Amino acid sequence: MAAAKIHVHEGDLPASVSFGSSVAVDSETLGLKPHRDRLCVVQLSAGDGSAHLVQLSQTGYDAPNLKALMADPGVLKIFHYARFDVAVIKHYLGVDTQPIYCTKIASKLARTYTDRHGLKDLTSELVGVELSKQQQSSDWAAARLSQQQQAYAASDVLHLHKLKDRLDAMLEREGRMHLAQAAFDFLRTRASLDLAGFEDDIFAH
Specify the residue, 26 or 194, whose C-beta has the smaller distance to Mn ion: 26
- Start-to-end Cα distance in the chain: 48
Query: Shortest approach of Mn ion to residue 107 CB, angstroms?
Result: 16
Query: Shortest approach of Mn ion to residue 156 CB, angstroms?
Result: 4
Query: Shortest approach of Mn ion to residue 148 CB, angstroms?
Result: 13
Q: Is 194 in the site for Mn ion (CB under 5 A)?
A: no
Specify the residue, 12 or 156, whose C-beta has the smaller distance to Mn ion: 156
Query: Shortest approach of Mn ion to residue 27 CB, angstroms?
Result: 7
Instruction: Count the residues of the shown chain that bind Mn ion, applying the rule CB under 5 A.
Output: 2
Alpha carbons 154 and 9: distance in angstroms, whole number: 13
Peptide bond into 14 cis (omega under 30): no
Q: Interacting stretch for Mn ion, rule CB under 5 A, among 3-11, 80-88, 155-163, 165-173?
A: 155-163
> How far from 205 is each of 32, 153, 186, 198, CA to CA, in Å?
27, 38, 20, 15
Specify the residue, 131 or 170, whose C-beta has the smaller distance to Mn ion: 131
Specify the residue, 51 or 180, whose C-beta has the smaller distance to Mn ion: 51
Q: How many helices (H) and strands (E) does the chain have?
A: 7, 6
Among 70, 156, 159, 188, binds Mn ion (CB under 5 A): 156
Note the maximum CA span of the chain. Answer: 50
Specify the residue, 22 or 155, whose C-beta has the smaller distance to Mn ion: 155
Instruction: Confirm if 27 and 57 have CB atoms less than 8 A apart.
Output: no
Among 13, 19, 23, 26, binds Mn ion (CB under 5 A): 26
Give the CA dihedral 177, 154, 136, 38, nearest 10 degrees.
-90
Binding site for Mn ion (CB under 5 A): 26, 156
